[in-house]
Amino acid sequence: MIMDMNAKPVLKPSNPNFSSGPCAKRPGYDVANLDVSTLGRSHRSVVGKAALGRACADTAELLKLPAGYRVGVVPASDTGAVEMIMWSLLGERPVDVCAWESFGSGWLTDVTKQLKLKDVVTHVADYGLLPDLSQTNPDNDIVFTWNGTTSGVMVPDADWISDERDGLTICDATSAVFAMHLPWEKLDVVTFSWQKVVGGEGAHGMLILSPRAIERLESYVPNWPMPKIFRLTKGGKLIEGIFRGETINTPSMLCVADYLDSLDWIRSLGGLDAAVAKSEANLAVIQRFVDVHPWIHFLAQQQSQTSNTSVCLTLDLDAKKVKQLIKLLDDEQVAFDIGAYRDAPAGLRIWCGATVESSDLVALMPWLEWAYAQVNDI
Q: Are residues 309 and 193 in the same domain?
A: no
* DSSP code per residue over 42-79: -TTSHHHHHHHHHHHHHHHHHHTPPTT-EEEEEESHHH
d(CA 329, CA 351): 15
- Does residue 306 sit within a domain? yes
User: Looking at the domain assignment, is residue 189 inside a domain?
Assistant: yes
Predicted confidence (pLDDT) per residue in 279-303, tens digit: 999 999 999 999 999 999 999 999 9
96-116 burial, b for 16+ CB within 10 Å, e for fewer?
bbbbbbbbbbbbbebbeeebe
Question: Are residue 81 and residue 230 in the same domain, yes or no?
Answer: yes
Give the angle 92-107-191 at the CA atoms, nearest 5°.
85
| Residues ≥6 apart with Cβ < 8 Å to 30 | none
Task: State which of 230, 251, 267 marks the end of a domain.
Answer: 267
Residue 31 domain flag: no
Render 300-366 in DSSP notation, one character per residue.
Answer: SSSGGGB-SSEEEEEESS-HHHHHHHHHHHHHTTS-BS-BPPTTSPSSEEEE-STTS-HHHHHHHHH
Task: Write the DSSP assignment of 216-278 as a string of letters.
Answer: HHHH---SS---GGG--EETTEE-GGGGGT--SS---HHHHHHHHHHHHHHHHHTSHHHHHHH
Domain boundary among 204, 233, 267: 267
Residues 288 and 185 both lie in one domain: no
Using alpha carbons, select from 368, 286, 375 the residue that is nearest to residue 329. Answer: 368
Using 50, 70 and 90 to split pLDDT, how confident is the model at 58?
very high
- 6, part of any domain: no
Q: Is residue 88 part of a domain?
A: yes
pLDDT digits (tens, 9 = 90+) for 324-348: 999 999 999 999 999 999 999 999 9
Average pLDDT over residues 364-378: 93
pLDDT at 319: 97
- Separation in Å, CA 331 to CA 6, 25, 285: 17, 21, 23
Weakest-pLDDT range from 3-7, 108-112, 202-206, 343-347: 3-7
Residues 148 and 56 in one domain: yes
Question: Are 262 and 134 part of one and the same domain?
Answer: yes
Q: pTM of the full predicted structure?
A: 0.97
Spatial neighbors of 289 by CB under 8 A, at least 6 apart, are 296, 365, 368
Quote the CA–CA distance of 338 and 348 in Å, as a whole number: 5
| One domain for residues 55 and 195 | yes
Strands 141-145 and 169-172: parallel
Asked if 241 and 301 sit in the same domain, the reply is: no
* Chain-centre distance for alpha carbon 39: 27
- Per-residue pLDDT, 13: 98
Single out the residue in 209, 234, 267 at which a domain terminates: 267
Among 235, 371, 262, 210, smallest CA distance to 23 is for: 262
Q: What percent of the chain has pLDDT over 90?
A: 97
Count of domains forming the chain: 2
Find residue 95's DSSP bridge partners.
120, 141
Distance between CA 166 and CA 183 in Å, rounded?
A: 17
The pLDDT confidence band at residue 6, using thresholds 50, 70 and 90, is: confident
Q: Are residues 161 and 45 in the same domain?
A: yes
d(CA 32, CA 230): 34
Beta carbons of 128 and 154 less than 8 angstroms apart: no
Return the CATH number at 331.
Answer: 3.90.1150.10
User: Which pLDDT tens digit goes with each residue over 122-150?
Assistant: 999 999 999 999 999 999 999 999 999 99
> Above pLDDT 70, what percent of the chain?
98
Q: Is residue 317 part of a domain?
A: yes
Residues 247 and 365 in one domain: no
Residues 85 and 197 in one domain: yes
Q: State which residues form the domain around 306.
A: 271-375
Residue 1: predicted pLDDT: 39
7-32 residue pLDDT tens:
999 999 999 999 999 999 999 999 99
- Flag whether 248 is in a domain: yes
Q: What pLDDT does residue 31 have?
A: 98
The DSSP H or E segment spanning 289 is: helix 272-291
CB 8 within 8 A of CB 333: no
Return d(Cα 131, Cα 312) in angstroms, integer: 18
What does the pLDDT read at residue 3? Answer: 55
Burial letters 149-177, b for 16+ CB under 10 A, else e: bbbbbbbeebeebbeebebbbbbbbbbbb
Give dist(CA 71, CA 77) in Å, integer: 14
Angle subtended at Cα 191 by Cα 189 and Cα 192, rounded to the nearest 5 degrees? 160
**178 & 259 share domain:** yes
Label residue 220 by pLDDT band (50, 70, 90). very high
Q: What is the mean pLDDT of residues 26-48?
A: 98
For residue 82, the surrounding DSSP H or E stretch is helix 77-89
Half-sphere exposure of 224 (CA within 13 A, CB side): 15
Query: Residue 59's domain is classified under what CATH number?
Result: 3.40.640.10
Q: Quick one: 202 and 351 in the same domain? A: no
SS3 98: strand
Q: Return d(Cα 206, Cα 177) in angstroms, integer.
A: 10
Note the pLDDT tens digit of each residue in 229-248: 999 999 999 999 999 999 99
The answer to whether residue 8 sits within a structural domain is no
What is the C-alpha to C-alpha distance for residues 351 and 149, in angstroms, rounded to an integer? 10
